[in-house]
Amino acid sequence: MITPEGLQDQLLGIVVARERPELEEEKNALIIQSAGNKRQLKNIEDKILEVLSTSEGNILEDETAIKILNSSKNVANEITLKQVFTVKHTVYGILSTQLLLVWRGAAMVRESD
């Protein structure tokens, strides 16, 4: 189903690719990085589940399990920070492009008057 928001996103993507190709390249790189981060988080989840399922006795006394869980927590926090930065960076890029389009549109209106 075609929606106005979808059309707006497509139009913005076309304009960004034409007017600010470096932003389009950054966006593509960020999408790839985001996919890698999600894959890494999935691997961490699998590792945690493996540790929990193979741990014998009290898990709080299993030093190896605690080290793996702490390491996993640190990596997950780093990935979360990267994702937050990626979202902010993308939003700022889109906003700056939209401002550029508004200024150009206003200039075109003034010229036609």
Instruction: State whether residue 75 is helix, strand or coil.
Output: helix
Instruction: State whether residue 36 is helix, strand or coil.
Output: helix
Confidence at residue 113, expressed as pLDDT on a 0 to 100 scale? 66
Chain mean pLDDT for the chain = 80
pTM exceeds 0.85, yes or no: no
Confidence at residue 55, expressed as pLDDT on a 0 to 100 scale? 81
Confidence at residue 24, expressed as pLDDT on a 0 to 100 scale? 76
Q: Nearest 5°: phi and psi at 55? A: -70, 135
What Rg value do the Cα atoms of the chain yield, rounded? 22
Give the pLDDT confidence of 48-102 residue by residue, as tens digits: 888 888 888 888 888 888 888 888 888 888 888 887 777 776 777 777 777 777 7
Q: Where are the domains of the chain?
A: 4-112
